[in-house]
Structure 1
Amino acid sequence: MSRYSPTRDPSVGELLSDVTSDVETLFRQETALAKAEIREEATKAGTSAGMFGGAGFAGYLVVVFVSLAGMFALAHVMDEVWAALIVAAFWAVVGLVLFTKGRARMRSFSPAPTKTVDTLKEDAQWARHPTGRTPTG
């Protein structure tokens, strides 16, 4: 139902005012919807992260108890101290290998987005000389 009387047409100013008001309302509603969606997704992500944390802790406990079981199994054929040292040495080797691989990967890590920087430099060059010609050539 129109808010204008049927006997007169609305002015251009009134129509523009209505369009502006409608756009503002639409923008506010879309913003509110986006905020609600982001909040919902953040809640899901937080719950999932908590579950991953719990799984990691459970995995850690599994490693601890399997290590203890291995130590006690070795203790049947040797002194408990030597069995504990063998299990500790095993985990030291695992840790050393992981540390070495992680350090090697970290050295190859570059925090700067080099491809993006190169592309931006090319874009800037093109913006300065859109025809492909440099000022000297």
Structure 2
Amino acid sequence: MSCLMRCRHEPAPLKSEPEEIYGNITNKTGPLQKFLLDITNHTMQCCQKNNAGFGLGDWLTMLTTVVPGSVTRSFQSRVSIELTGTHTRGELVFGWMPYMLPEVTRNVTVIQELNSSMVNRVFQETFDPSSTQWRQTTSLR
């Protein structure tokens, strides 16, 4: 339990996109930039108000699936969602030791670090294609 509490409260090692990249992209007027602004506007207002930074969890999760090379450090672990615990109900728990979570037989990959230059590049290619060689096609074949 002490490991659970300690691990839970440590700051996440993954860092979000720098705000200036986000700002440079959302200041443009194209459809992708408008889409990014629309889906993140509320989150950005909350984060700026609380000075908490800006997280791109869903986008980073998709990136690690589509571009596995973006992951520079990770480890395998057994995990579960604690449903009955007094202190951790509804939270992700790790089976750090062999005797922990013996009922869990599958592992998940826990990402510890991403290639930041690759994350920046792919983020810009995704939401600011005018700055890359990507071209929009008018029809699908």
TM-score, normalized by the shorter chain, greater than 0.5: no
The structure with the largest helix share of the pair is: 1
TM-score norm. by structure 1 comes to 0.18
Q: Relative CO higher for 1 or 2, CA cutoff 8 Å, sep ≥ 6?
A: 2
The structure with the largest strand share of the pair is: 2
Higher Cα Rg, which structure: 1
TM-score norm. by structure 2 comes to 0.17
